[in-house]
Amino acid sequence: MSGSGNTDVPNEDPLGIDKLTIDYDYLVYRIQEYVASIQLETTAICRRQNELIREQIVDQVVEKNIDGLNSILGKCQELENHFEMLEQIAVISESFKMRLAQVLREYRQLKR
């Protein structure tokens, strides 16, 4: 075979199209991976924020309910205190009745 240079090794991709195609496919693959990882991170962050918001809302509702119940308990305690005062007034009234009865008896005895 008479050689005219590079005829022994045929150049199948003289313009580098095959390499360009492989590089392009790899670049698209890397972009897809990167977008997928961003999507996963974004989804995770959104879920966590949603959980935090729900927890805060639930916590706020629970705190508000606890405050309301504490207020009611305070009013019940105040009511109980009023009833205790009424009982004390009843005891004092009975004591005054006995004292008045004694004073009236003594007065009647003096009057005789």
What pLDDT, in 10s, does the model give residues 10-62? Answer: 568 777 888 888 988 899 999 999 999 999 999 999 998 888 888 888 888 88
The one-letter code for the residue type at 11 is: N
Rounded Cα distance, 107 and 110, in Å: 5
Could you give the count of Cα atoms lying within 13 Å of 68 in the half-sphere of its Cβ?
A: 6
Whole-model pTM over 0.75: no
Query: For residue 36, what pLDDT is reported?
Result: 92
**How confident is the model at residue 1, as a pLDDT?**
44
Q: What mean pLDDT comes out for the span 93-110?
A: 89
Distance of alpha carbon 21 from alpha carbon 13, whole angstroms? 11
Distance of CA 70 to the CA centre of its chain: 20
Q: How far are the Cα atoms of 6, 19, 79 from residue 68, in angstroms, in the given order? A: 93, 72, 17
Name the residue with tokens 């008896």: 105
Distance CA 2, CA 53 (A): 82
* In the predicted structure, residue 9 carries a pLDDT above the cut 70: no
